[in-house]
Structure 1
Amino acid sequence: LMGQMRTALRAYAVEGHPPDVVVSHANRLLTGMETDLFATCVYVDLDMEEGSAWCVRAGHLPPVLRHPDGSTEIAEVEGGPPLGVVTQADFPMSPLRLRPGTLIALTTDGLVETPESDIDEGMDRFAHALAVSAPGHLGLVADALLGNARRNDDVALLLVRYDGMALRPLRESWSVWRLPEAVRHARRFTRRTLRSWGVPDDTVDGVLLIVSELVTNALVHTDGKVRLDLTLISGRLRVAVADASPRTPVKPTSIGWEATGGRGILLVEAMSATWGTLPVSGGKQVWSEIPVGGA
């Protein structure tokens, strides 16, 4: 059952859903499995760029944070019931703010609960052990936390250290309205953004062609909202167009000279160092990466 739940959680996450939706979907799946068993879960979605995270609890222990100054904090995270208990349960999201050097520890009650003490005392001991550990080597931290674990219950431990980012990406977004001049507006937005970022002119024309093809495909073949995202970091420019259709664009295997369409994805592939699609909540994102110099 736990293997099925882990697979389900991973699948819902890959689809691009926010944490509360991921956990809600997993809860509905488990309640429909016709089993008397239930599962607890803590889910943390970490934004490495912003130094923030969203946390959702389903009957599970909250995360423990070790701050850069060595102090620890048992995160105050709202919680819902365990998975598989109530079909229409709410699983609220709680924010976590992280500074570079913060260590996040997730564990199960098998590590902190004993017959001699309750779970709150065990969490306090766990937080103290995390505080006196040396966060530079997570393997040694894990060894210290697991060293005195009593094996009368399953034990799981997950550690992650947020070190921040030495170089933050440049980002801009544009909502593409379904107007006759939509593609031209998207190109103008792209040109203006790339110029402000210092992207060389000999790169801009290729990027504009990619933007034109991706935006046109989204407008012609999908309904609903379309969004253009530009990201520049470490000499690589990423162009991404998100739409409301989950259908992945198909690259044609052959196109005759008389064909009037179907070349867009071939052009994107030819102009890109790499390209692909990603599922996002309610649709997909088609992206292209182009190396740029001099930015």
Structure 2
Amino acid sequence: MTTIPTRLLLRRFAVDATHPVAVPTARRAAHAIATEWGVDGERLDALLLITSEAVTNAHLHAPGRVLVVLTWSPDDARLAVEVHDTGRRMGEGQASRFADDRATVGRGLALLVEHLTRGRWEVVPTVYGKRLRAELAAAAPPARPTGTSTVSPAAEPRGLFAAI
């Protein structure tokens, strides 16, 4: 059974992924929010790398407005980042993301996020495109059977891009 945290801090911001400074702008905003919450060290570095990589992918493959949502649960020290973009292409999917070891492009996000989150991430289609959600746990997650997910999808805000 999943415990619902009693406190959950949430902040969101949007960047224009068509603009060349979208990635550093998103990284600076994520840094400011996370440090305000007291996140530092390796977890802050991991958050910034994931945010940078996801916004870079949106810049390259789904230019338009990108919504970044950060959540922090001080009760259990869970930190999560979601990056919503308008792209419809889901890539290779998590199940087959390492299938072709000869590929020279297209695996950066999967390799990076898989390593930094210890498998606690997902990419799912939304009404507006897709959402990447990555969770950084406070400690190593408990062992789980192969092929199961420990991240449950967060409810998608209504009118996501209409409100930006």
- TM-score, normalised by the number of residues in structure 1: 0.40
Instruction: Give the whole-Å Cα distance in 1 for the aligned partners of 2:67 and 2:5.
Output: 28
**What does residue 84 of structure 2 align with?**
242
Higher radius of gyration, 1 or 2: 1
- SS at structure 1 position matched to 2:122: strand
- CA shift for structure 1 position 183: 0.6
2:114 to 236, 259, 269: 269
2:12 to 148, 157, 173: 173
Query: Higher RCO, 1 or 2 (CA under 8 Å, sep at least 6)?
Result: 2
1:291 to 130, 134, 137: 137
Instruction: Give the whole-Å Cα distance in 2 for the aligned partners of 1:243 and 1:264.
Output: 15
182 and 236 in structure 1: CA distance in 2 versus 1, 3 angstrom threshold: same
Gaps of 5+ in 2: 140-164
Tell me the amino acid that sits aligned with residue 290 of structure 1. L
- TM-score, normalised by the number of residues in structure 2: 0.69
Misfit runs of 4+, over 6 Å: none
Q: Compute the RMSD of aligned alpha carbons.
A: 2.1
Instruction: Give the whole-Å Cα distance in 1 for the aligned partners of 2:91 and 2:9.
Output: 27
Instruction: Give the whole-Å Cα distance in 1 for the aligned partners of 2:91 and 2:78.
Output: 23
**What does residue 210 of structure 1 align with?**
50
Gaps of 5+ in 1: 1-164
242 and 166 in structure 1: CA distance in 2 versus 1, 3 angstrom threshold: closer
**How many residues of Structure 1 are paired with residues of Structure 2 in the alignment?**
128
Q: Any idea what the Cα deviations from partners look like across 1:72-118, whole Å, max 9, x if unmatched?
A: xxxxxxxxxxxxxxxxxxxxxxxxxxxxxxxxxxxxxxxxxxxxxxx
Instruction: Give the whole-Å Cα distance in 1 for the aligned partners of 2:40 and 2:88.
Output: 34
By percentage of residues, which structure has more helix? Answer: 1
**What does residue 197 of structure 1 align with?**
37
CA contact (8 A) 1:227 1:242 kept: yes
**Percent identity among equivalent residues?**
34
Instruction: Give the whole-Å Cα distance in 1 for the aligned partners of 2:22 and 2:5.
Output: 36
